[in-house]
Amino acid sequence: MNRRNLFRALAAVACAALPMLAGAQAWPERQIKFLMTAPAGSSIDMIGRTIAEKLGPRLGQPVIVENKAAASGTVAVAEAARAAPDGYTMVLGYPGPVAFAPLIQKLPYDVHKDLAPLIITTNQPNVLVVNAQLPVKTLAELIAYAKANPGKLNYASVGNGSSSHLVMEYLKSAGGFDAVHVPFNGSPPAVTATIQNETQMMFAVMAPLQAQIQAGKLRPIAVTTVKRFPLLPDLPTIAESGFPGFDAQAWNGILVPAATPKPIVARINAEINAIFRMPDVVEKMHAAGFELIGGTPEDFAALLARENAQWAPVVKKLGLKVD
């Protein structure tokens, strides 16, 4: 290529990039849709609305929360995957529809091709709880009871492919006991079913469980993190309850459609990181049992890669599948 043609080619590339750069600089010019993969009243909803309330004024446009919990959150993620990559659609996901469900069922989206990680929002343990009427107080007693009463235990989850589903299946396999899976769309109905003894146990994050534990309707048994949980310091971990190395945390993170301009991704990422340093946000999230994470889109991408490496072999070994 001669020098004249080279200059023409470079000029063409620059001209093609101008609309995208101009659009990124003008963004946002209208309201932003923020999809929730869980229903109102869930921990996801609490995190999302806290972010939306602070993010809107910082961007100068409303951030509108839309709860779409259908199909264990995969409907919300699919909508984000199909949306225009213009910065006006975001989705707050959790391991279920983002990392686990793709391992066990066919979905209308590919997380790695159709979506781009924006930021990790929070991290927290799953807490194993049982209906307060169940005559068990420790994990060893729960496993012994399950083995002595085959076919009598059901467990709730916040959806097929969620961490509350896979972690329980993993524990069942490790502990050699059985319980029937009853999936729900989000934590509120799953918690209600366990309180009413329609299901006898479940894994969930602390936020939807806290009031019911304090009211004596649910009994906490153990947490899934390697270290004990500050909100329940007397509660043992599963690792110290006979399953060394057991570690399964429930994270949340925001994704946007793939090909969303990098300047827009960087802007949202920076604003949310700033929100996570606000004292009132920190206090609110810590009180609910959430650890604020933040960081870069690359940090979130690395987390997704680690989750796949950890859970793909587990799913294969257990033969988990959802049609």
Give the integer Cα–Cα distance in Å for 76 and 255: 11
DSSP E strands in the chain: the ranges are 32-36, 63-67, 89-93, 115-125, 127-131, 154-157, 180-183, 201-204, 218-223, 249-257, 291-294
Quote the crossing angle between the two packed helices 3-26 and 262-275, to the nearest 10°: 40
- How would you write the pLDDT of the chain (323 residues) with one tens digit per residue? 555 554 454 455 445 444 445 455 699 999 999 999 999 988 999 999 999 999 999 999 999 999 999 888 999 999 999 999 999 999 999 998 999 888 888 999 999 999 999 999 999 889 999 999 999 999 999 999 999 999 999 999 988 888 899 999 999 999 999 999 999 988 999 999 999 999 999 999 988 999 999 999 999 999 998 888 887 889 999 999 999 989 888 899 999 999 999 999 999 999 999 999 999 999 999 988 898 999 999 999 999 999 998 889 988 888 888 76
Report pTM.
Answer: 0.84
Could you tell me which of 63, 85, 99 has the C-alpha nearest to residue 258? 85
If DSSP codes are grouped into helix, strand and coil, which group holds residue 65?
Answer: strand
Domain layout of the chain by residue ranges: 30-124+249-318, 125-241
Task: Write b or e for each residue in 93-132: b if 16 or more Cβ atoms lie within 10 A of its Cβ, otherwise e.
Answer: bbbbbbbbbbbbbebebebeebbbbbbbbbbbbbbbbbbe
CATH number corresponding to 30-124+249-318:
3.40.190.150
Q: Is-same-fold flag (30-124+249-318; 125-241)?
A: yes
Identify the CATH assignment for 125-241 out of 1.25.40.10, 3.90.1640.30, 1.10.3210.10, 3.40.190.10: 3.40.190.10
Q: In this structure, which amino acid lies at residue 254?
A: I
Could you tell me which of 292, 291, 38, 302 has the C-alpha nearest to residue 163? 38
Cβ-contact 286, 146 below 8 angstroms:
no
Give the integer Cα–Cα distance in Å for 12 and 6: 10
